[in-house]
A and B are shown apart, each in its own frame.
Chain A
């Protein structure tokens, strides 16, 4: 006689722990599944910041989280784009806007029309046709839906104070009646590839049918399972250190996160309501932690104050993120540098795949197989997107950047770059996080100049093409002009409906 999964124990720390516990309870609680959270000591430093994609908003909706409340609690700021500066010597910064839809233009992706226009002398850059980019430059927040007819739209992610956000989520989990145990793991009881139960240092025992490992790089359950293997991506990603610190807040909040390359890595500048979070991601081969800390203010061009904390980064993934009755989510499954604002998105993606593939029985879990496949593809696409920034860098005569240009890349990424270089086209794969438009902004921003375009473009005569492009330029500018500024948006968080956030 088979039995359903009745008890789930989520073991981990910080936001991924709470997101997983809340989401599983929300979806499967009504089906009779009981969720327990086992909270390990936090790894968050006071300066840490979660930089997130717009997808987090849909997770919040699923969990019934009120956006305005959450942003108030976590000192959150909406972000329309990331701005990449100094990734090539002498090149201007480029933007990658979030959830940006370039809109429909005839039968082909808009970039095709732009490519031809560009060849004919059009001066406006691709970013001028992106609502998200235009908003980001003007310090505005793109609220959707913008232009439903032409399908021009954009959305925003957040910068959140990590500790405050995790604390707010913990509150939510508590309010939902989920049992929370806190402490360190003393022992994990195994039966082959299955976890039978865990014992905390305080003596509490937790038994469950399904265990979720949300412990980040510690992989506290996974690494005790026979057959768990961590596959390192260090050959592709040189950075192995993350430093976080703070500076004072911007007087007027920008609508983008700045990602500036320097000779040994990159520095992220994340505006928050009450401070500015700084991240430095670098390779310890090229620069020591002490030097990095000493140079941070100069490199960030902001006076850094307070505590600066360095942590280790080991990019890679578990060959099998689900073994037996234990499922890794987020960094426990896939560890990657936060260049593309993906740490919470990784957790969220894993959680949503876990809910989709929630085991039908407690005894047998063949769902592990498709879960492992889908997580591998999901992670691989994000890793490709992240690595593309490095591969396309134009910083010559610097060992770190030379090495980044020459690092091994997947055939998929090479193929994507090749196709874009030839035709300005993006071919998306299964389980992509980033859209065609994201890849387009990345490739063009990274300096690829396509050799040609879709031949169907020439079916449109020059005059109508110019009109189409100019009309689009005006439409985007007009839409952006009516969006609230970040300061207005943040100022209105107190008055809930005022800015129309839901």
Chain B
């Protein structure tokens, strides 16, 4: 019997514990062992508190009880992101986790909607999205299981406290056989070939491994630090390089969406949790200084501040390879894309999901490494283009950042997407990677780009019928939304963290 392959994860933030939990669950224990090295002295960069619907799939796959997870992490539900002041001052659009109306006769829904507009209707595209209507009404319910009705056409994600999520996963991972080693890495040893071999801790302890997962955050101790994988800088497209996170009190009305508001030199997030609200200002140091940013941030908050904002520095870009030799980097150690579309945790998750089927049984196989890196390239590039779109397609006149982004040279692939959408509303779909056509649609339209023409196929539908169908859909959505519970009410019933704490307290008292 061979010794199991020893996997060593460096870093115990969200990325580290997600990896540990997934690997102990999905890899057979007789062939793999999982050790995670972390130090209590090193803080977690807990910015990524909003997630995407893929998070639910990930948790389901790991057999995680949703309500318990939500109670443990102060989580709320999320149906999309509200973009305020992005295209122009005073604007607001929701990028929903769902579609805008159903397709018909091989035609995307919005083509029918465009024809309705040209026939004089003043309906907004948002009227046709169940997820948006529910979000705007602060309501939430699980999507209907049937495929045919409009209230099955959305998905949901969570807002949660990422450090509590890491803590929650740690308990599960350790319960399933992951070993945690406390300590700070002092040095890293490589073997003669250059593979990583041993982590030397400050305590003098040596942690040896066959395969290493670098979750060391921005420092990228193994992939960047030891294996010298190059950094590709994307800051000319995504100039924001600072963030000032600040918690405030819980919002009165618990919104089932993230709100991101464009500011003079960046944007501000607002993420409602059960016990508090996460906020922060992501800005570009080229266009505003830290003090001024702090001032702008504090003046813009809705609720009283719970702690001082603390500065984070970063740069948009990524390591040119996520897997090199016997080391894969997950999360911040492999790249950074600002959390505008809540992609940070997604990128960790998708890297894990791409890694598992390709996990080496012994020494890494170049063929598997190449495939993993190909898949991750695609993930990063697609998210990058989508983020750039938000900045590039704006008509704000109140800040240098916005003028710069409007006129900057963007990747060709993006220019072409914008051009064809402007002409006829066509959106190309793709198999792999984030953001399908409904996402692109909401951002194109939301940022103020209205197609000049609609698809001729929409003319093949008799106008009366088309208008009647759309009208019926709007009415149906509005009617169903009225029947839904308020998000706060639903959450209290399903996954109340406070009640959970109380009952834990009662149990503890009872034991005493």
Contact = CB atoms under 8 A, between A and B. Distances in A.
Contact of B371 (A357, A370, A427): A427
A414 to B, nearest CB: 9
Given A28-B456, A31-B459, A456-B356, A357 B426 contact: yes
Interface in A456-481: 456, 458-459
B358 interface: yes
B358 to A, nearest CB: 7
Given A30-B460, A32-B459, A358-B456, A419 B368 contact: yes
A31 B458 CA distance: 8
B226 to A, nearest CB: 25
Interface in B362-377: 365, 367-368, 370-371, 374-375
B423 A455 contact: no
B457 A2 contact: no
A369 B431 contact: no
Contact of A370 (B26, B357, B416): B416
A4 interface: yes
Interface string A427-454: 1111010000000000000000001101
Given A419-B367, A456-B26, A369 B416 contact: yes
Given A421-B367, A452-B361, A369 B457 contact: no
A459 B63 CA distance: 15
A31 B456 contact: yes
A252 interface: no
Interface in A407-423: 415, 418-419, 421-423
B403 interface: no
A11 interface: no
B27 interface: yes
A418 B424 CA distance: 40
Contacts of B455: 358, 360
Nearest to B417: A370
Contacts, number: 106
B357 A425 contact: yes
B454 A28 contact: no
A422 B369 CA distance: 11
A356 interface: yes
A4 to B, nearest CB: 6
Nearest to A420: B367
Contacts of A419: 367-368, 371
B32 interface: yes
Given A367-B426, A421-B367, A355 B361 contact: no
Interface residues of A, number: 43
Interface string A198-241: 00000000000000000000000000000000000000000000
A33 interface: yes
A147 B305 CA distance: 59
A419 B371 CA distance: 7
A415 B371 contact: yes
A430 B430 contact: yes
A179 interface: no
Nearest to B372: A419
B256 to A, nearest CB: 30
A430 B436 CA distance: 13
A28 B431 contact: no
B371 A418 contact: yes
Nearest to B424: A360
Contact of A355 (B106, B430, B432): B106
Nearest to A374: B428
A27 B460 contact: yes
A423 B31 contact: no
Contact of A418 (B370, B419, B457): B370
A456 B457 contact: no
A422 B365 contact: yes
A31 B107 CA distance: 13
A373 B452 CA distance: 22
A473 to B, nearest CB: 24
Interface string B274-313: 0000000000000000000000000000000000000000
Given A32-B459, A429-B431, A459-B28, A367 B424 contact: yes
Interface of A: 2, 4-5, 27-33, 355-361, 364, 366-367, 369-370, 373-374, 415, 418-419, 421-423, 425, 427-430, 432, 451-452, 454-456, 458-459
Q: Which 3 A-B pairs have the closest CB atoms?
A: A458-B28, A360-B453, A31-B459
21 contacts: A28-B457, A29-B460, A33-B456, A366-B419, A366-B424, A367-B420, A369-B419, A370-B416, A370-B426, A373-B428, A421-B367, A423-B357, A423-B368, A427-B371, A427-B374, A455-B28, A455-B361, A456-B28, A458-B28, A459-B26, A459-B28
Interface of B: 26-28, 30-32, 106, 356-359, 361, 365, 367-368, 370-371, 374-375, 416, 419-420, 423-424, 426, 428, 430-432, 452-460
Given A30-B460, A366-B419, A422-B365, 8 more contacts: A27-B457, A31-B459, A359-B456, A419-B368, A423-B368, A432-B431, A455-B359, A456-B26
